[in-house]
Structures are given as C-alpha cells and as structure tokens.
C-alpha cells in the first residue's frame, strides 16, 4: 500500500514537472514573462489580416499586445499589415508581403532589419534607433518620418520629414538623405552594388501603401492635397482601363465573337497548385512612337499599329504569387505577340528587351519598354512585382525622358 502511494506521488510530481516545463517553454517563446532586463519593449499596436511572428524557430499569429524581443521576426501576408511601437520613441508599420527582424533591443540601441517589402517609420526620438537593409544602416534624426523598401536587390530609403543618415560600405561614405529625397541602392546576386543614386520623391513615385501612410501624418515634404490628387488620379486611370476593357469586349460581342479571357498555363489547375485563381487586365501600347517616327529604326514601321495599340485591354487569369512578367508572357503567347527578354543579375529578374519586335533604342537613345500597375511605375523589375486580384497592368513604349512621355515622374 505504501509502495503504491509513493509511486502515485512520484507520478503526480513528474506530471507537474512536465506541465511546468511546457508552460515555461511556451511562455518563453511567446514572451509571457515580459521583456528581458535592460531591453526596450516593442509592443504590437494593431494587426490587420494574416501576420506571423517567428520566435526561436517557431511561428504563430501575431496579436495586438504582444511584445517583441531581440531576434523576433514578423511576416505579413497579402492584404495584411502590422503596426508596432516603442513607447513614445518610434513606431513602424509593415506593408503586405513584408518581412523584418528585431536585430537589437536594448537601452542603448534598437535596430530593425527590413528583409523584404516596405516598412514605414515615424521616429520621435532618433537616439539609439536604427533601421537596417542588407547593405545599409539608417540612422534617423529626431522627428524623422521615412520608409525602407527591399525588393529583390533594389533597396530604397525615402525621407518624408526630417533627415536620415545612411551608412553603407557600398556608398564608400555615409550619406545624408533630407526630406523629399530618396536613396536607391541596386545590388546583384553577389551583394555587390550596381549603382546608387539620390533623387527627389513625389506622390507619383510612391506605392499605394506609402500614400496611405503619409495621409495619416502631418508636416511632410508634400501636402495632403498632393497625396489625395495622386490617389484620385490612380483611381481614375484604373476606372478608365475598366471602361476601355468593357468597350472592347462589347465590340467583340457585337461582331458575334466571344470575350476572350487569357487563361493560365494549359494543363494546370487550382487543385494542382493549391493556389486560387484571380484576374487582372493588361494592355500593351506604343502610341508614343507615332509622334516620333523620324527616330524609328528603318524597317520597324511594320510593327507599329496605326493606333499604337499592340494589345487592347484584356483580362488575364493568374494564380497567387505570379508576377507582371508571368502575365505578360501569357498574354503575348495567347495573342501571338513576340517578346524578347533576358535575365539581369543586377535586378535579380527579367528585363524586357522587345515586344512585337520593337526593341529598346529603336526610337531614340532613351527609348524602351516600361510597365505600370494601377497607375504607378515601380522602380524594380516586372518579374519581382507580385500581382493582386484586379490589378491593371500597362506596358508602354517610351521615346523620351526615360518614361516622362508616358507618365513616369522623376524628381531631381
């Protein structure tokens, strides 16, 4: 009887020990016991959509109120975002499809590494606050509002208020980026820079995430009226594309035809990939050449349609994770439009050399193909732009100003 009681007690103690160990393990991984001593606590303010926190090799959903510790990572899925803050020192917001890591968290230094996507910072006190890219460290000044973006080798620091100092071995020296300017660093697969440049920014050069974030702030380089005008312009451009597509489809139906929807690769299915099917629109135009025929390479006239439209606004099916480049290839294959492209190490992606036998430099020394999505010209390659359902793509041939003749905006 005594032996049995002792064994029962031992079993209960072992179970309690296991339970305590489990609680300690889970509590440690999820930071139930608070931040480490001398560690500045970054708290999760808000979460929208599917956002994950990666801690000690384990991942789970990020919720409001969770405090980050050194080494924690955050990933946002499509249509998702998260805002975190360090008391009254600074706050930052991750856009969709972004990833960052808290690389240092202490009384003297807090540093965040932006691995992918866009992160928007609002810094009250720049003391001890650093943002990192794979090739640079950004030290913001007091009151600085800025963003960092990393997309497949193209890394951009934009300053909307105040100034930030960027230190990088690739620059050869530190660079100060003032309000209204951006620093762009392009790297190849070996981590070596192809070029660096400091240029001006404007609402036209910003993606929709940055436009939305800046609308919430005061005292920026540009006014809310300028931001609002750009947002309205993009909506109007997308609406114009919708109307053009509907008119094109009505013409086809009036002629007794069937409205074409360019489908995914034959033989593939949603079941095969496990990804959902979405649609976007694509248009290919070269109308700028019509007013620059004197610059066109002799013999190329046959490849320029009378109205400058190589492919009318068309609907294309695509799967989650596919890029603008994927859709371009699919559309051109469907319409029997020849394209020529090459892989560019500097941009870690594919570069479009020709569409419909119209090559870069065929209509002047600054001519070539550019793309925009929903009225915005990204500063990285089409194979690195991940599409969303309902996106509107336009491929346009530029003859002058490296895109200024087709709506691209560059600031000095």
DSSP 215-233: HT-SS-SS-HHHHHHHHHH
Q: Domains in the chain, start-ordered, CATH in brackets?
A: 31-222 (2.60.120.1440), 234-406 (2.170.130.30)
pLDDT at 178: 96
Give the C-alpha separation, 410 to 246, whole Å.
32
Lowest mean pLDDT among 59-68, 252-261, 344-353: 344-353
Instruction: Give the whole-angstrom CA distance, residue 295 versus residue 309.
Output: 19
| Rg (the chain; Cα; Å) | 26
**Listed range (88-92, 125-129, 209-213) with the worst mean pLDDT:** 125-129
What percent of the chain lies above the pLDDT cut of 90? 61
Q: What confidence tier does 13 reach under pLDDT thresholds 50, 70, 90? A: low
Give CA–CA dist 173/175, Å, rounded.
6
* Residue 13 backbone class (left: φ over 0; alpha: ψ -120 to 50; beta: rest): alpha
Asked whether 364 and 318 are in contact (CB, 8 A), the reply is no
Over range 306-335, report the average pLDDT.
Answer: 94
- What is the predicted pLDDT for the residue at 294? 95
According to DSSP, the β-strands at 368-373 and 392-398 are antiparallel
In whole angstroms, give the CA distance from residue 235 to residue 241: 10
Residue 317 · residue 263 · CB < 8 Å: yes
Least confident of 163-172, 214-223, 315-324, 394-403: 163-172
Spatial distance between the Cα atoms of 306 and 195, rounded to a whole number of angstroms: 39
Q: In b/e form, how buried is each residue of 191-227, taking b as 16+ CB within 10 angstroms?
A: eebeebebeebebbbbbebbbbbbeeeeebbbeeeeb
Distance between CA atoms of residues 62 and 39, nearest Å: 20
Write out the two tokens for 114: 């932006």
pLDDT of res. 71:
92
How many separate helices (H) and strands (E) can be counted in the chain?
A: 5, 25
pLDDT value at 194 more than 90 = no
9: tokens are 């007690």
> How far is the C-alpha of 31 from the C-alpha of 35, rounded, in Å?
7
With beta carbons less than 8 A apart as the criterion, state whether 370 and 364 touch: no
Q: Strands 261-262 and 309-319, how do they pair? A: parallel
CB 75 within 8 A of CB 51: yes
Query: What's the mean pLDDT when you consider all of the chain?
Result: 86
pLDDT at 40 over 60: no
CA distances from 53 to 45, 62, 97, 105, 141 (A): 14, 5, 13, 16, 28
Question: Residue 304: pLDDT band by 50, 70, 90 thresholds?
Answer: very high
The whole-number pLDDT of residue 177 equals: 95
In this prediction, residue 200 has a pLDDT band, given cuts at 50, 70 and 90, of very high
Long-range contacts of 400-405 (CB under 8 A, 24+ apart): 400/288, 400/292, 400/364, 400/366, 400/367, 401/366, 402/366, 403/370, 403/377, 405/288
Query: Per DSSP, what are the bridge partners of residue 157?
Result: 148, 183
Residue 289 confidence (pLDDT): 97
What's the pLDDT band for 287 if we cut at 50, 70, 90? Answer: very high
């Amino acid at each position: 009887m005594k032996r049995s009681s002792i064994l029962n007690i031992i079993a209960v103690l072992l179970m309690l020990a296991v339970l305590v160990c489990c609680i300690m393990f889970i509590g440690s991984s999820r930071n139930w016991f608070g931040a480490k001593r001398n560690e500045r606590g970054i708290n999760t303010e808000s979460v929208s959509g599917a956002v994950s926190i990666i801690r000690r090799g384990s991942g789970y959903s990020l919720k409001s109120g969770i405090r980050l510790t050194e080494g924690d990572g955050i990933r946002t899925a499509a249509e998702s975002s998260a805002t975190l803050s360090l008391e009254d020192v600074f706050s930052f917001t991750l856009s969709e499809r972004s990833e960052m890591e808290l690389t240092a968290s202490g009384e003297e230094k807090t540093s965040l590494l932006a691995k992918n996507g866009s992160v928007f910072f609002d810094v009250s006190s720049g003391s001890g606050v650093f943002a990192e890219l794979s090739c640079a460290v950004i030290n913001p000044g007091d009151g600085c509002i800025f963003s960092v973006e990393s997309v497949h080798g193209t890394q951009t620091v934009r300053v909307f208020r105040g100034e930030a100092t960027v230190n990088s071995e690739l620059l050869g020296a530190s660079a100060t980026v003032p309000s209204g300017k951006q620093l762009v660093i392009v790297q190849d697969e070996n981590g070596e820079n192809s070029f660096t440049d400091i240029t001006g920014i404007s609402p036209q050069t910003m993606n929709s995430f940055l436009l939305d974030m800046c609308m919430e702030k005061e005292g920026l380089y540009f006014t809310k009226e300028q931001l609002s005008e750009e947002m309205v312009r993009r909506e109007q451009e997308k609406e114009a594309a919708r109307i053009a597509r509907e008119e094109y489809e009505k013409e086809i139906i009036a002629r007794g035809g069937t409205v074409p929807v360019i489908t995914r690769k034959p033989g593939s299915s949603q079941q095969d990939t496990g990804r959902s099917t979405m649609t976007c629109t694509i248009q290919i135009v070269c109308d700028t050449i019509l007013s620059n025929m004197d610059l066109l390479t002799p013999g190329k006239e046959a490849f320029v349609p009378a109205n400058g439209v190589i492919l009318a606004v068309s609907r294309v099916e695509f799967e989650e994770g596919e890029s603008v480049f994927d859709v371009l290839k699919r559309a051109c294959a469907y319409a029997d439009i020849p394209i020529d492209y090459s892989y560019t190490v500097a941009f870690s992606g594919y570069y479009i050399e020709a569409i419909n036998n119209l090559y870069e430099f065929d209509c002047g020394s600054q001519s070539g193909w550019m793309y925009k999505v929903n009225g915005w010209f990204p500063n990285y390659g089409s194979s690195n732009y991940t599409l969303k359902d309902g996106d509107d793509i336009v491929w346009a041939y530029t003859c002058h100003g490296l895109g200024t003749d087709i709506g691209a905006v560059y600031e000095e």
